[in-house]
Structure 1
């Protein structure tokens, strides 16, 4: 079975759990679940490559929440010679493209970001499917996919981190394996199941997750989201006086959460130019300044044109203290994806805004992990500069909580109250991740 992968470097570093899964993934549906960085994705890709050679009678599909995430989590590893040796050169995919080539076979790459996505499956007969992060795929899509797997010996390989114990995947499928559900197998992974991780790296991962994320992504537990989202938040640890901000390498972006009756909030994300005692880069992210207009508090509802004028005037101000010796303007304007009219207004006023990545849970998790790891700090107003810093973010962070009604339905969803600066900050962090991730020492992984 492993002949097709002869010489692949990854074969030499499989742990006992990966080897058991590789041998055991013979069912119609094979699910690997558990902690991040536990080796489940790599071994599932190994098994998927073998299955590609033998798939007959229908299409081969790779499914992820978006095609970008399919590239990041599936194709990037497959095309890495350090993992798959010469086979990596037999896999080709451009991020966002509808098809890929694997071992000479055409593979359909499907994004499943909402319930309507199941329409793309209609008409397909599926012989082989790989599903990245099953729990973020809509149930309707997954059910449709199962129904399309009609050829004899059709198989599905899926990976996921744990989610709510009430999630449809667990309740309707995983909990029934071994009882009345046939043709399914699952394999559980923990962080320690990956022999390729150093103890130092494991400690870093454990330090970067707290609360819910620690239980799910480190311990591999299916636990409900409840209570505070940023349960690690401590203003004494996570804020810095605006006057004490370090020199910034650049102000990467301003994230804008647009409101009409609700406040409009904009948060500037910067990356520092800090170095350690040996002169090595020690960069961190900072929310350096904030714009807010609350029509209720101000008793004045602004038109899009008026709001654009005020935001642009604020962007032209100096957002860094004189001690840094720099005056920078954010490189990008990242806008709430629902704010179509405001985007048009900004464009007419000469400001090109990019639509924010609004993958809410990933964004919350990323911001929370950055805070927990000490890689993201928030500037607070000072007596000397009371109008600078991010008071809205600081005020909203402690009360940001999971919606208990959504939790009962197996859905992780924040309560949509007093989250405007938080959303603006999340937009700026997640949408510019490709820019800052390579510059700071941060190991968050899926």
Structure 2
């Protein structure tokens, strides 16, 4: 049914499949390095030879990620040939059938998910993106693998070197019944050079070292260590094809709006900034006052090369925690309102990639943003806990920029590789 020799697998993939006989088997390393395919094949082979007692489980951040990262690849005939027809799943269902065996699908988005494991006995478990799961869930899952010969198969991209999976398991492999394989991008023989170049362009700084080099490295220092005022700040703006806006809302803290434009030169521009800091002005504003001031600003702002005033963003991405303010804007008729994508780590990565590729520039009038970006730093206390988080201070315009840039990433991400080729050498090593 499954001929491994007929599949385009690397030597490292084949070796890991054959040796995945420990109680805990972990594939870790860079994105698109072939670790997921190898781990899924090892898991399916284990399912084929599993005994009748004990449940078989696939765990992930959510049911949707399990479907996307595990079941859909297994059902791809181009990848797995005849095996694919033996992977049966109805989207949204909490079970699947693999080689005739029922497999239970369990999402683990937070610590409460641990309760879904209590009382069960398992013989096989597959974990997708293990570093994204709560430690308590992982510990409980291992406790439930109590059938003789039970095994766990897991994949993950690297995280902080202080992450619990690194310190509690990978670093203690010699003490535990654990085998691990580290994969780099070069370990996947099926990737084209152009795809590798495009993928590398999307990751810079911390994320490049983790996702491309496959290193477990710590977040330290400046978040946007590629920031160069001489290269990133402009005095003039080209004509704009499109506008978006990001709003970070505060009551005692500053409220900031960044108008983001896509220029005719295929670059993103923080064109303008509206900002009110109640601490600095000693005057707080109501939601209605904020709404009126922002709408008036958008109505009266004028691009330097245009005769008429006004900018109409296609979308206005608002801090998702500002529910009452969003309601006020909606009642006042501001068009294109949307909840910002507030995934902080991914949002920072989008901004960093655009800056490093020379695809994101800031107009000199954005004084608040220009004051925040150079000092926007990783929180050493969070780093000590094995987490990546910026210091929550002086970040209001930076957050507004992140909302607009990350929420529109699907519109401009294809420009990154082209930008890095044009700006190689301009921004130093982080843009290569």
The normalised TM-score by structure 2 is 0.83
Q: Does 1:260 align with 2:251?
A: yes
User: Closer, same or farther in 2 for the Cα pair 1:212/1:326, shift >3 Å?
Assistant: same
Deviation at 1:68, TM superposition (A): 4.7
Check the 8 A contact 2:59/2:105 in 1, yes or no: yes
Task: Answer yes or no: is the 8 Å Cα contact 1:268–1:289 preserved in 2.
Answer: yes
Corresponding position: 1:409 with 2:394:
no
2:224 maps to 230
Within 5 Å, which residues of 2 pair with 1:82-231? Answer: 82-85=78-81, 87-88=83-84, 90=87, 92=89, 94=91, 97=92, 99=94, 101-103=96-98, 107-179=103-175, 181-182=176-177, 184-206=178-200, 208-231=202-225
Would you say how many aligned residue pairs link Structure 1 and Structure 2?
Answer: 416
Match of residue 350 from structure 2: 366
Cα deviation digits, residues 32-66 of structure 1 (max 9, x gap) = 11222221122222323334445554554443334
- Quickly say closer, same or farther: Cα 1:196–1:403, change in 2 above 3 A: same
What is residue 280 of structure 1 aligned with on the other side? none
Match of 2:397 among 402, 421, 445: 421
Verify the 8 A CA contact 1:255 1:424 in the aligned structure 2: yes
Change (3 A) 1:262 1:189: same
Is 1:29 equivalent to 2:24 in the alignment?
Answer: yes
Q: Residue 247 of structure 1 corresponds to which residue in structure 2?
A: 240
Map Cα deviations across residues 143-200 of structure 1 (whole Å, 9 max, x no partner): 2222233344443221122222221111111111122x12x21111122212223445
2:316 aligns to what?
333
Q: C-alpha offsets along residues 313-349 of structure 1, whole Å, 9 cap, x if unaligned?
A: 3344556443599975223332223223223333333
Matched, 1:310 2:293: yes
Contact 1:256 1:265 in 2 (8 A): yes
- Counterparts of 1:326 and 1:45, CA distance in 2: 57
TM-score (norm 1): 0.80
8 Å contact 1:337–1:358 — kept in the other structure?
yes
Q: What is the alpha-carbon distance in structure 1 between the residues aligned to residue 153 and residue 192 of structure 2?
A: 28
Residue by residue over 1:274-328, the C-alpha shift from the partner in whole angstroms, topping out at 9 and shown as x without a partner, is 4xxxxxxxx4444333332211122211112222222233344556443599975
On the 8 A contact 2:185/2:213 being kept in 1, the answer is yes
In 1: Cα distance, 2:81 partner to 2:377 partner:
45
Deviation, structure 1 residue 71:
4.7
- Structure 1: stretches of 5+ with no match in the other structure: 275-282
In the TM superposition, what is the alpha-carbon distance from 1:438 to its structure 2 partner?
A: 5.8
Distance 1:211 1:185 in 2: 29
> How far, CA to CA, are the matches of 2:298 and 2:117 in structure 1?
45
2:331 to 345, 348, 352: 348
Q: Distance in 1 between matches of 2:165 and 2:120?
A: 23
- What is the CA distance between 1:80 and its match in structure 2? 4.0
